[in-house]
Amino acid sequence: MRITNKPILLVEDDQVDTMTVIRALKDIHVTNPLIQQENGEDALNYLSDSNNEKPCIILLDLNMPIMNGIEFLQVLKHDDQLKGIPVVVLTTSEEQQDKVNSFNLGVAGYMAKPVDYLQFVEVMRSIDTYWTISEMP
């Protein structure tokens, strides 16, 4: 995900999941800074602050308090300044409607969080590989 070493925005309220993402990114040698926000509202506040560098990718959980991932996507994808940032949903939700809603709102990918750490690392490696070779506008 090294697009000029821009930050990765992780929108996740679960501290254990956050630590797992941090550990997995370290294990696969991703050096981009990781910015973590606990809900969609905090993430939108971060993104709307012109002092903050825009992330190269957003890793988004769906089940969060205050503003969930679907609500976050509804706002993000209607903002001309932010809608081009790729979003990968990384969630425990197995709800078909969450998948449909996410893709209808323009997510780049939807990945279930594996419980097994080694499988989780492989999911993160897949995301990293894709975004490392993907050409952005």
pLDDT per residue over 2-26, tens digit each?
Answer: 556 889 999 999 999 999 999 999 9
Burial class (CB in 10 A: 0-12, 13-18, 19+), 73: buried
Distance in angstroms (rounded) separating the CA atoms of residues 121 and 137: 28
pLDDT per residue over 23-79, tens digit each?
Answer: 999 998 888 999 999 999 999 999 999 999 999 899 999 998 899 999 999 999 999
If pLDDT is split at 50, 70 and 90, which confidence band does 136 have? low
Report helix, strand or coil for 8: strand
CA distances from 48 to 72, 116, 121 (A): 13, 35, 30
Query: Domain locations in the chain?
Result: 3-129
Structure confidence at residue 31 (pLDDT): 86
Structure confidence at residue 134 (pLDDT): 61
pLDDT per residue over 109-135, tens digit each?
Answer: 898 888 889 998 988 888 888 777 665
Q: Which CATH class is domain 3-129?
A: alpha beta
pLDDT per residue over 79-108, tens digit each?
Answer: 999 999 999 998 887 788 988 998 999 998
Amino acid (1-letter code) at residue 82: L
